[in-house]
Amino acid sequence: MLSVKNSKQNRGWILVLVLTAFGLGLLPALAGETEGGESPDAVFKAAQAAGAKKDFSALVQLVAPSERPMLAFGTDMGVGMFVEFYEGEKAEELKKKYQDIQTKYGIKLEEENEGEKLQITSETPQEVIDAHMLKRAKKLYGHVDVVKYVPDLMNILFNMPEMAEESVFPQEELTGLNIDGDHATGNAGEKTITFIREDGRWYLTSDVMN
């Protein structure tokens, strides 16, 4: 079994595990503001401010509404895996907190039946796989208030002392912003940040932390 201890190397592993499982975006606009932003720059700056404070309740409304089921899916998979393999002294406490959240939001991670499964081959287009995953995410998390659910999960981890210095959103300057219709991309350090416009507002996509 994988051992997770309070070392810098393992702190990095924790963050990678949580933020890359199926792609992980972040939460709402700053308090008092409308969801999303008027421009990709505005969304990025709001996400930086929220990320710097680890304000997960100000970091999920910055993710596009259509992408939030995948955000919930990815966060749940990442946190669930971490809790399952954690071997520190708080292992049982973490498992209980995780299960309490699942019960609170009525999450049941049932296996797909044969009629729902996607038979993936080397020739299966990525967009087909993405559509299948989104359909499953909507089935599992469509009833969930993602703006509350994701922060509850993330706070399991970021209330741990070993995560105190970890960042949850790039703090580098946004460069190379390219807007193409309702989509935009830019760079923050080594990270590619992807934006999407829905109903006239700009948002982050759920793969922002890949």
Q: How confident is the model over 52-67, as pLDDT tens digits?
A: 888 888 889 999 999 9
pLDDT digits (tens, 9 = 90+) for 66-118: 999 999 999 999 999 989 998 888 899 999 999 999 999 999 877 666 566 77
Q: What angle do CA 189, 192, 195 make, to 5 degrees?
A: 130
Q: What is the pLDDT of residues 148-199, one digit of tens each?
A: 999 999 998 888 877 777 778 899 999 999 999 999 999 999 899 999 999 9
Sorted by where each begins, the domain ranges of the chain are 8-204
Instruction: Report residue 2: phi and psi, to 5°.
Output: -75, 130
Which residues on neighbouring strands pair with residue 5, listed in sequence order? none
Burial status of residue 102 (CB atoms within 10 A of its CB: 0-12, 13-18, 19 or more): middle
The C-alpha atoms of residue 35 and residue 190 are separated, in whole angstroms, by 27
Spatial distance between the Cα atoms of 93 and 99, rounded to a whole number of angstroms: 10
Which residue pairs from 95-99 have beta carbons closer than 8 angstroms and sit at least 24 positions apart in sequence? 97/156, 98/153, 98/156
161-198 per-residue burial string, b: 16 or more CB within 10 A, e: under 16: ebbeebebbbeeebeeeeeeeeebebbbeeeebbbbbe
